[in-house]
Homo-oligomer: A and B are copies of this chain.
Amino acid sequence: MDYWDLFLYLLLWYISLPLQNLKKQKITIHDISKALKIDSSTVSRALNDSSRVSLKTKQKILDKAEELGYQRNILASNLRTNKTNTIGVIVPRISRSFFSSVISGIEDTAQNSGYNVIICQSFESFEREKKIMNTLLSNRVDGVLISISMQTTSFDYLKPYLDYGGPIVFYDRPCSFENCSSISVNDYKASYTVTEHLIQSGCKNIVHFAGPQIIDLYKNRKQGYVDAIINNGLEFKESYCFESKLAEEDGVAFAKKIISMENIDGVYSSNDTAAIGAMQYLKFMGVKIPEDIAVAGFNNDPISSVIEPGLTTINQPDFEMGKIAANMLIEQIKNETTNKESKVLDVELIIRNSSQKN
């Protein structure tokens, strides 16, 4: 008989094994409700500090919640209130220092306003961007901040989210779509300034590394370059413009072309990454910077101050842009309105040795 007992005991133990690995049941308001014999609605109100609950009861409930280790189930709360207190951020790549600063700004503001942030990388892929937008909609984020990918030309994929009533704010790469707000820097003016700076430094034949022209941002940067060239009495040549995605390899490839062109004495790249690729190759080939060829970039990546010579570039208020973008979005979420608004921030020309011929 003792053996039988032992057997039963072992059997029960064996059966219970898989259960030990299951997620423990979390404490809910109903547990508190039962423990105190107080209706769960009152518990809910107490936990939300409602004035409909007496101080005495509130304290009892809070104490019990603490004691049981209660943790509000946000999923249930969100479902009921139809809010998630979460904003989605779509970013081309977080590894670009510009974007990671913007994100820090966004997080800063969001946290102060009680919002969570979901960061998603599109890796400059349109397909990925569409998928992300879908996920964000499914997750019912309260708003979306987006910097579109270099491939994005159609914006229909944003429709479902807008129809749902979620606000969207474009940052860095603005685009005129429906009544969405946007925040960016004055790319045209910045570009004009850098180009003029190169000209004043003595450049006569300046090539331009342009980004994808389907993106307004890069179109504006190119236009700034074009106008500065023309307004300063130089001749604009389309053959001096190289379009690419501005990766480091693109810069290297363009540098090769430039060397074969022989008369080039200046480079203005739409970002630092490509500028640095070009500089590395030019230096490797014995071209003197800035004496033979002056170089300027855009973004003020940390790397631009480390390379030799230091790279002249444009510094953008990245952190601030993130803060403002988040503020604009949260404003719209709270007001449940969508009054279009386009903010444009000013930038700063950082002059280093790469551009100073004299």
Q: Are B101 and A95 in contact (CB under 8 A)?
A: yes
For A267-286 the 0/1 string (1 means CB < 8 A from B) is 00000000010001000000
Stretch at the interface among A35-43, A66-74, A215-223, A226-234: A66-74
Whether B76 contacts A164 by the Cβ 8 Å rule is: no
Question: Interface code A71-103, partner B: CB below 8 Å = 1, 0 otherwise?
Answer: 111111011001010000000011101001101
Q: Which chain B residue has the least Cβ–Cβ distance from A140?
A: B75
For the complex, is A303 an interface residue (Cβ under 8 Å from B)?
Answer: yes
- Please provide the chain A residues from 270 to 310 with a CB less than 8 Å away from any CB of chain B in the complex: 276, 280, 302-303, 306-308
Say how far A358's CB is from chain B's closest CB, in angstroms: 23
Interface 9-mer from A113-121, A171-179, A204-212, A343-351: A113-121
- Taking CB as reference atom, which chain B residue is nearest A283? B308
Contact at B95–A116, with CB atoms within 8 Å? no
A76→B79 contact, CB < 8 A: yes
* Interface window among A21-29, A45-53, A257-265: A21-29
Closest CB-CB distance, A88 to chain B, in whole Å?
Answer: 10
Shortest CB-to-CB span from A87 to chain B, Å, is 12
A306 contact from B72, B84, B94, B306, Cβ within 8 A: B306
B95 lies within 8 A of A100 (CB): yes
Residue A151 is within 8 A (CB to CB) of chain B in the complex? no
Interface size class of A (residues with CB under 8 A): 35 or more
Residues in B with CB closer than 8 Å to A72 are 138
**Do A139 and B160 touch across chains, with their CB atoms under 8 A apart?**
no
Residue of B nearest to A135 (CB): B116
- On whether the beta carbons of A22 and B336 are closer than 8 Å, the reply is yes
Interface residue? A2 (CB, 8 A):
no
Q: How far is the CA of A69 from the CA of B78 in the complex (A)?
A: 22
Q: Which residues of B are found within 8 Å of A165, using beta-carbon distances?
A: 22-24
Residue of B nearest to A280 (CB): B306
Q: Please, which residues of chain B bring their CB within 8 A of the CB of A104?
A: 95, 121, 123
Q: Which residues of A contact B (CB under 8 A)?
A: 21-24, 26, 69, 71-76, 78-79, 82, 84, 93-95, 97, 100-101, 103-104, 107, 116-121, 123, 135, 137-140, 160, 163-166, 276, 280, 302-303, 306-308, 336-338
CB pairs A–B below 8 angstroms (21 shown)? A21-B336, A21-B338, A23-B164, A23-B336, A69-B163, A71-B137, A75-B75, A75-B78, A75-B79, A75-B84, A76-B79, A93-B100, A94-B94, A94-B95, A94-B119, A95-B97, A95-B101, A100-B100, A107-B121, A303-B306, A308-B308
